[in-house]
Structure 1
């Protein structure tokens, strides 16, 4: 269930900044039609940091409703407060999701022992699988492979989204966990190499824009057809870089707006619309890759 291409789904908003649920439904249907293996609702790309709990829970609930059991939905449920993360885990567990994505606490800079205590407490409160999320470029704190291995012994912790971009980190983690522990890439630029080294899939920002290609990349890699997978990756590699020239999800939302999939590229403050040069650049890359 947790292998392949999972889309780190944006949360569309209207001109007033309210959640655009019609746009959300359109996006969910777009990904189902294009072969995505699953969705991640209200993770980093879904602007989890600026959605209050009631909206966060409602967006996840509606995403599950729109998915109609056709593909699994993972809910972002992390927080820098363990108590808040447990609250979200308990509330989101009632929405029909397949599992949780729980990020390393940000700003606090917890020790490795603190991370172990944090995630074990969350997993104890969970009735569904928990996927760890390590993204030190955002959280500052970096969850080490030894910590992952200890947490992997908890029956409810079944995998990790590794957004370090380090293939060596993947290998170090693989050496310490069982083969059935799911390791997903959280870095699109290195995703092909990650998959070729035994990663099980991706939680992808690029998949917002080219879901069929990201799904095909994962399918080919899973079948051991790495030459063909590399060719697919080369076709979209410019997007991996272009989508991150401003903080995620600024450019993904702009790209989806230009594709006509959402009616507004609005974001929650403190994020704002991209600079003119960024708009021009992403649109150029989209034309070159055949998206526009």
Structure 2
């Protein structure tokens, strides 16, 4: 059984940062503004170059520079968990080594996509990273994108490795955490990767969320988490009610295009994305505007 007296290494609202673009290049000025807004709002961590950061369309050098920039701007004020996923194990190791070299606190490593590895293949992939780099690793299970589901048994097996410290669970299946909590010893971090189910995830013993919504409404997400973490579920439900439409509409078009559109409405960055993602559609934009207004945000 999990020792509830131990504190997890990672918890709270951890923003899956967008990567701002301008005229086809990474817009580091906008990225700096975005990072500062997140920290000022009280988020507990930042994830550069995850799915929401469009890592799949960044070059390796861009990926590394975005991580370095985020670490430098955060300057130890919040934890930085660098995306280091790849369907090529050696490349994932390279990205994890770079994250460690520039001072990231941990890496977030998605299950290898497209190759469709077996459970043994998944285990060996993460074990190779664990063995190669002395940096905390959060597993990332998102079968809707990777077409492979990391089983609970595989997660429990991986949790025995010294550098595997937690999981971002983006399955939306709230039963999983109860199983994992009964099978995994120690202070393993259970992090939701699904904003709409964060409230339920906390009730099941989760420690936080790697959030898309907090790009847009960081203060409200911190308030939701804080209430849920403290067991004030009536207050947490009130925040959830304000945010639920925003949680959903940010995926009404290919992510992160609605999130970038929302940030453009706040004057933070352009809505530019990279192909094969296209800008948020005209049909979805008013839905985003309405959800932002319901969440109490003032549009530029």
TM-score after normalising by structure 2: 0.95
Match of 1:219 among 226, 237, 243: 226
| Aligned twin of 2:210 | 203
Structure 1 segments of 4 or more deviating over 3 A?
A: none
Between 211-220 and 114-123, the greater mean CA deviation after superposition: 211-220
| Aligned twin of 1:247 | 254
| Aligned twin of 1:153 | 160
Stretches of structure 2 that go unaligned for 5 or more consecutive residues are 1-8
TM-score after normalising by structure 1: 0.97
Q: CA deviation at 1:225?
A: 1.8
- What is the alpha-carbon root mean square deviation over aligned residues? 1.0
Paired residues of 2:242 and 2:294 also in contact (CA < 8 A): no
Report matched runs for 1:140-289 at 5 Å. Answer: 140-262=147-269, 264-289=270-295
Q: Deviations over 1:105-161 (max 9, x none)?
A: 000000000000000001111221000000000001000000000000000000000
1:58 is the counterpart of 2:65:
yes
| Aligned twin of 1:12 | 20
Secondary structure of the 1:133 match is strand
Paired residues of 2:71 and 2:104 also in contact (CA < 8 A): yes
Q: CA deviation at 1:179?
A: 4.7
Secondary structure of the 2:46 match is strand
Between 103-112 and 213-222, the greater mean CA deviation after superposition: 213-222
Stretches of structure 1 that go unaligned for 5 or more consecutive residues are none
Q: Deviations over 1:205-256 (max 9, x none)?
A: 0010111111122222222222221221111111111111112111001100
1:28 is the counterpart of 2:35:
yes
- Distance (Å, rounded) in 2 between the aligned partners of 1:212 and 1:47: 24
